[in-house]
Each structure stands twice: as C-alpha cells, then as structure tokens.
Amino acid sequence: MQYTLGVENPAPRPRNVLLIMVDDLRPALAPYGDRVAITPNVQRLANTSVLFSRAYAQQALCAPSRNSMLTSRIPDTVRLYDFYSYWRNSSGNFTTLPQYYKDHGYTTVSVGKVFHPGKSSNGNDDEPYSWSKEPYHPSTEKYKESPVCLDRDGSLHKNLVCPVDIKEMPEGTLPDVQSTEFAVKMLNDFARNDSRSPFFLAVGYHKPHVPLKYPKEFLDLYPLEKMPLPDYRRKPPKMPLVAWNPWTDLREREDVRALNLTFPFQLIPDDFSRRIRQSYYAATSYMDSLVGQLLGNLTDLGLRNNTIVVLLGDHGWSLGEHGEWSKYSDFEVATRVPLLFSVPDLVRKGPRIVKDPVELTDLFPTLVDLSGLPKLQKCPKNDLSRSVPLCTEGVNLSPLIRNPSSTNHRPRSNDIEDGSPRMTTAAFSQYPRPGIQPARDSDKPRLKHIRIMGYSIRTERYRYTEWVAFSPKNFTAHWDERFAVELYDHRSDPDENFNVAESKKHSRLLKKLSAALRNRDRVPTRL
C-alpha cells in the first residue's frame, strides 16, 4: 500500500536516533580542547554538533549515572547509589528514554553497555520495557577479567595497563569491536527495512573503562615521554578526608598491586602515572576509531542526514589530578562528561559550544523534543510518592541547540537575555560515603553502609560541595549535620586543588550556593 500517492509533500519521516554512550569517558577529546587526545572521528562528529562544554553526571558511578540519565531523575529519586536495586521495584515505575521512543513506534535496540548490566537493570537491561529486541552483549565480554596483559617479563597478568595483540585474544576479537560490528549490522537492517519504522539505536562502548585493554597499535599514537602529568599531584592540605576516593579498582590490578602502595594515600609514582594516562588516551583513541566505523556506515547507508547522533560519557575519570584516580567522587574530573548533539541540518560548521552547566538528566527531555515527540512534563517538586511514571527532573535543552543566538558569547547579565529566562545556570552531582575516613568501601559503599552524602553544585565559576549525614533507611539527607565543605573557584583553580571554603571573604557566596544546593535550584542567580 502506498500511502503517499497523490500527496505532494508527504510527512517527513521521523528522525532516527543513534545514542553513543562511552564508559568512564571524561572529555579527553580533541573538540574539548584536549591537546593530547587524538580523536579525529569524534572531532568530525563535533564539527556538525552542538557541544556542551559543561555537562555533568549526577553520580560518578556507572549504574546510578545511567539509571538517572535514562529515567531523567536524580539519584535521590531513583534511590540507586550502588548496583543492587531496580527502580521499578524499589522506587517508582519510571518510563525510560528508550521506552518512550518504543512507545512512540520506534524500534529500540541496545548494543553493549547501555544500562549497567545486573540487578540495577533487572538482569535484563530493562527489557522488554525499554527495548524492542533482546539487548546485545558481545560474547568476549566474559574475558573481561582474564589474564591477557603481557608484562615486561613475558608473562600474562590481570593488569590495569593492557595493550594487546587482538589476534591473540580469546575468539580473536574484543568486546567493543563486536559491538560495532553488531551495530553496523543493525544499521544495514534498518537501511533495508522499508516498514518505515524509525530506529533508536543505543551503542554502549566499554572502553576506556578499566582494565585499559585495547589494540596495541593505539599506544604508538602517544609517546610516553610526551605524556604530560597534572601540575599538582598530591592530596591538597585543605581537601577534606571524606572527599578522597581511594581508587580501589586500580589497586586490585596486578601491575598496580606490584607497586606495594600503602592504603589510602601513597601516590602512584610518576613513571607509572604516565603509563596509565598513556593507556587511557590510547583506549580513548581505540573507541574513537570504532565511532568512526559506526558513523562511516551510517553515512554510507544514507542514514546520516535523517539521524540525530548523540555522544556522551556516563561520568568522568581522574587521571592523577591532586593524587586521585578513577571516578567515585564529586570532583570536576569525575563528574564532567562529553555531551554532543549532532542534529541534521542544524550545524553546518561547528562545533557550536554551549557553556551553560547542564546535566545528563537533561538528555531525555531534550532528545524527545528534538525528535518532535510530545514534550515531557516537569516532575512535581518533592513528590515523595514518586508515582508519576513519565516526567523529568531535567531541563529541555533543545532551545539552546536550535537557536544559535542563545549559545556562545552569552551576555554576562543576570538571568535574562534576549528577553527569555536562562534555562540553567547550575548542575548538580552527589556521591555517597560510608564514613569520613577513606576505607576499602569508600568508592562503592553498599546502600546500607552509606552514612554521608556529598552534594555538589557547579555554576559557571564555582564548584561547591557539602558532605552531610545521610540515612539509608529513609533516603534522607540531614543538612544540619555537616562534615565538610568545599569551594573551588574555577577561574583561578580549574583542577580544584585549593579549597577556599574557609576564607571569610566568601561567606555570602557560600550562603547562596548552600541555599541553591539544598533546593536543587537549576537557575540560581548567576554565580
């Protein structure tokens, strides 16, 4: 049946969505101004994108961040801070981003790590709610912890630093290569299918998550002697103890264990720090090459100009800044993520940079609006019943993406510009701790062991964090029982080494930031 017969301008085909989620990727990417990173494919994507230069994850841990992002609710609403509960059973029956597309006639497909696998997505990546078919996981993912990393003495280990010869790997391949091949196969199917059902394809890359395992040729891109280290590489005297994450996931690897570091503060020596950084960048370039294959196929199949492409990281990763590694904190390096939207016809010569502080909770309302689907309602404030299945705790950023005049070189006035209120001037993150002293479970406390929550607000200029008492039984923060406060001025201290919360001259500023933090006010007076 040909429905468009006799119609001069048939309704445009709804646009597809390709959502590329990268595990543990901080903006170590050329279009973010990283001078070390060699990422030509992400650069090419960025050249047709709106790039959010201040985008933040709501908790720097995979499962809470992804569940928050994909339901557009903050961790305190999803009530997941570890890996061990499924929101539909433990919090509310929230509709997810892919589910919304599925409910609107899209074919939704999950490839690789999109939801964090396991209990937090019900052991089935929230299928069938979120996905039209069974989510794909690469068969070689099961060798994640196999000793395949060649040490200098020629033996094989479970190392952190792990360049490999792909031909020597079990099954002769790697998980992200398999995911790319499967995603490309799906794109071919979509291109052939003339049922005219649009697709929502989510591709979740595992690298640069630890272990830093990647084809060894990517190491050649980064000569070790040219690998820079952060200027400030120890625990700053005014960093509160509770803020320190002891990067236990690194200590478990055999090459790190061999350094005999004392827990929790002994620093990784510079020469090994350089090797970790080198491999993080190499793993990122490996991911970049696979993104290139994905987008190359999208173009060759004629789908590129009818597909919205989004690329993001689930949270950041410390690379030795103030002596810290990995995620597990509220610091800028752990919470800041890349976030790019490439919308056909919108950006011809880019990237176009938006500096407003935004959140990953903003993805859901933004993407559905860009797709022309019905807009999401804001969730009711302080809705303790969490009974509204479909709403957002984020902000619809699509006006910032559509309207070039609302981006870049924004006037420095308060709140108002071209007559409209600002959409967002702040972004929030949080991180739980079992206690003040860094302990073996400080990085990943189980819900029942959480005693302290670190709430953090990022404005254009500042990061402000309060560590307060928290009851895991009723998920309540006790703001009056405060353990530590941090204030970092990004104008003079982008690496967050100098906590100036004690400085008397900041007392008025601290009051304002504290009020915005408690109210989770996304549009506080510009600070």
Ligand X SMILES: *[C@@H]1O[C@H](CO)[C@@H](O)[C@H](O)[C@H]1NC(C)=O
Cβ-contact 77, 387 below 8 angstroms: no
Q: How far is the CB of 503 from ligand X (least distance, A)?
A: 40
- Residue 344, preceding peptide bond in cis (omega within 30° of 0): no
Cβ-contact 387, 89 below 8 angstroms: no
Q: How far is the CB of 221 from ligand X (least distance, A)?
A: 15
Residue 335 vs residues 203, 243, 247, 512: alpha-carbon distances, Å: 21, 13, 15, 22
Give the residue with the Cβ less far from ligand X, 86 or 214. 86
Q: How far is the CB of 245 from ligand X (least distance, A)?
A: 23
Q: How far is the CB of 188 from ligand X (least distance, A)?
A: 9
Question: Exposed, middle or buried: residue 97 (CB in 10 Å: 0-12, 13-18, 19+)?
Answer: buried
Question: Exposed, middle or buried: residue 465 (CB in 10 Å: 0-12, 13-18, 19+)?
Answer: buried
Q: Is 149 a catalytic residue?
A: no
Q: Is 322 a catalytic residue?
A: no
Give the residue with the Cβ less far from ligand X, 86 or 470. 86
Give the residue with the Cβ less far from ligand X, 83 or 281. 83
Give the residue with the Cβ less far from ligand X, 104 or 238. 104
Distance CA(208)–CA(214), nearest Å, equals 9
Distance CA(407)–CA(353), nearest Å, equals 7
Q: How far is the CB of 88 from ligand X (least distance, A)?
A: 6
Neighbouring C-alpha atoms within 13 Å toward the C-beta of 521: 14
Q: How far is the CB of 494 from ligand X (least distance, A)?
A: 24
Give the residue with the Cβ less far from ligand X, 181 or 252. 181
Closest-CA residue to 277 (of 494, 36, 497, 53): 36
Distance CA(277)–CA(293), nearest Å, equals 25
* The pair of three-digit structure tokens given for residue 461, joined into one six-digit string: 């200029």
Q: How far is the CB of 476 from ligand X (least distance, A)?
A: 23
Distance CA(327)–CA(200), nearest Å, equals 29
**Position with the least CB separation from ligand X:** 296
Tell how strand 16-22 and strand 50-52 pair up: unpaired
Closest-CA residue to 50 (of 361, 311, 389): 311
Cβ-contact 427, 411 below 8 angstroms: no
Interaction site with ligand X (CB under 6 A): 40, 43-44, 47, 86, 89, 93, 95, 119, 122, 129, 180-181, 184, 258-260, 293, 296-297, 300, 302, 305, 389
* The pair of three-digit structure tokens given for residue 358, joined into one six-digit string: 């935004």
Question: Exposed, middle or buried: residue 373 (CB in 10 Å: 0-12, 13-18, 19+)?
Answer: middle
Give the residue with the Cβ less far from ligand X, 37 or 334. 37
Neighbouring C-alpha atoms within 13 Å toward the C-beta of 148: 24
Q: How far is the CB of 46 from ligand X (least distance, A)?
A: 7
Give the residue with the Cβ less far from ligand X, 98 or 434. 98
How would DSSP label each residue in 378-447?
A: BPPTT-TT---SS-BSS---HHHHH-GGGSSS---SSSEETTEE-S-S-EEEEEEES-SS--TTSSS--G
Q: Of residues 104, 116, 137, 379, which has the active-site annotation?
A: 116
Rama region for 286: left / alpha / beta (φ>0; ψ in -120 to 50; rest): alpha
Q: How far is the CB of 400 from ligand X (least distance, A)?
A: 21
Q: How far is the CB of 150 from ligand X (least distance, A)?
A: 19
Give the residue with the Cβ less far from ligand X, 189 or 300. 300
Give the residue with the Cβ less far from ligand X, 333 or 390. 390
Distance CA(135)–CA(172), nearest Å, equals 22
Give the residue with the Cβ less far from ligand X, 69 or 468. 69
Q: Of residues 62, 149, 162, 379, which has the active-site annotation?
A: 62
Distance CA(23)–CA(29), nearest Å, equals 14
Catalytic residues: 62, 116
